[in-house]
Structure 1
Amino acid sequence: MWLVLLHLLAFLLPSRAMAGEIIGGKDAKPHSRPYMAYLTITRSNSEETNCGGFLIREDFVMTAAHCNGRTINITLGAHNIKKKEETQQHMVLLRSITHPEYKKNPPTNDIMLLQLEKKAKLTKAVKPLKLPRSFVKLKPGMVCSVAGWGGNLLANMQPVLQEVKLKVMRDEVCESCYPRNFKNKTQICAGDPRQWKSSYQGDSGGPLVCGKVAEGIVSYGNKYGAPPRVFTRISSYLSWIDRTMNSPRL
């Protein structure tokens, strides 16, 4: 009953919060999403937090710009992040590149590339995820998925990778919920308000996967976890991504 009340409260008090933990999902099949990256971030004030990310090339991980920090530790090939699995690869960050026009409030151009010092070893548990080839406007009603190690409203985190299916919504749904924040040219609206399925605190930076392609990045949403949620539209940044990944190393 109290979950129903929380859901109602979420709509009565529309407040923006960084997206993250999976709500209404389930345990993912071990290593069924070999592109997933687990990020441990230390902020400038020494605060530690976690985000998701995803491998897009042997030497690059994509995530949300708001996941940046003083240090970022990257783990690939993980299923249970509380265990030392043989599949895990702990990568050293060479540099983090946030989009030059990123703004924290309201979240705009919330995308960041993490260049690895060494290329990841590709295995069954570590594989890159494809990006769209051109600008994509997803059709409302299309079912996509999100994964991450966040928990839900009952727990701070889940050690085992979680996943949930989310429906792409019409832009008007997010324009109504986030009238000052939502930008339909660079953001995707996903998550049916009638279903208690969502990302929440902890999964920021993870991919919105549609048809085996990364179409979005977990960005922000209502602080109570109520859908819809907002995702950075990756296809709006393909030129910047290509230019950045193919520039000489610093």
Structure 2
Amino acid sequence: MIEGQRYDIKETIVHPEHKTIDVALIMLSRPLQFSDSVQPIQMAPRNLALNSGDMLMSMGFGKTEKLPISPVLLSVKLQYVTDKDCNEIFKKENHPHITEQMMCARGVKGEGSCKGDSGGPLVHNNILVGIVSFGYDCGTLPGVYTRVSAVRDFIDTTKDKLNNV
């Protein structure tokens, strides 16, 4: 079993438009200790384009069929759903419109991100492309993620400010 690491949070910086752009940055109380099992991930560039059906992976400790919170880190394979396709699905269900700061992904066999996974990663080819935001019926409909490429300005500007403190 891989050992985890725990860190205290020094500061949380929430996006100024957090009601529509679901992202926040967390400054830790001490630097991360990288190891074979703990490594940094590359963030999506501003111009990243995904294609319908591209394979993605999400991870989290969220709700499972049997437990309200998983005691172990779980992962799920997902497929990218275009904004157009996601909006068509959501329109039929009377759910909100997907904006350019959002993206959708869905799993097979009713699998997907669920309650408790919010804030977790959505990864494509070892690149962080999304952050778990919200969903409906855990895997029945596509899950909604904050699109990292669309919030890079906020991430980079905030990171630069924190590095100069």
Cross-structure match for 1:51: none
- Structure 1 stretch 211-220 or stretch 126-135: which is displaced more? 126-135
Taking the TM superposition and a 5 Å limit, the aligned residue runs for 1:1-250 are 30-31=1-2, 87-103=3-19, 108-179=20-91, 181-192=96-107, 195-248=109-162
Letter in 1 for 2:4: Q
Larger relative CO (CA 8 A, sep 6+): 1 or 2? 1
- Structure 1 distance, partners of 2:32, 2:25, is 15
- Structure 2 distance, partners of 1:160, 1:119, is 24
TM-score (norm 2): 0.87
Letter in 1 for 2:145: F
> What is the CA deviation profile of residues 131-182 of structure 1, one whole-angstrom value per residue up to 9, with x for unaligned ones?
0122323110101011111231322122111111001112233213434523
- Structure 1 distance, partners of 2:138, 2:155, is 32
1:96 and 1:112 in contact (8 A); partners too: yes
TM superposition shift of 1:125:
2.5
Q: Secondary structure at the match of 1:172?
A: helix
The runs of at least 4 aligned residues of structure 1 exceeding 4 Å deviation read: none
The count of corresponding residues between Structure 1 and Structure 2 is 161
- Structure 1 distance, partners of 2:157, 2:109, is 39
Q: Secondary structure at the match of 1:230?
A: strand
TM-score (norm 1): 0.59
> What is the CA deviation profile of residues 47-76 of structure 1, one whole-angstrom value per residue up to 9, with x for unaligned ones?
xxxxxxxxxxxxxxxxxxxxxxxxxxxxxx
Q: Which runs of 5+ in 2 are unaligned?
A: none
TM superposition shift of 1:196:
1.2
Q: Which runs of 5+ in 1 are unaligned?
A: 1-29, 32-86
- Structure 2 distance, partners of 1:166, 1:154, is 21
Q: Secondary structure at the match of 2:68?
A: strand
- Identity within the alignment, %: 30
2:106 and 2:139 in contact (8 A); partners too: no
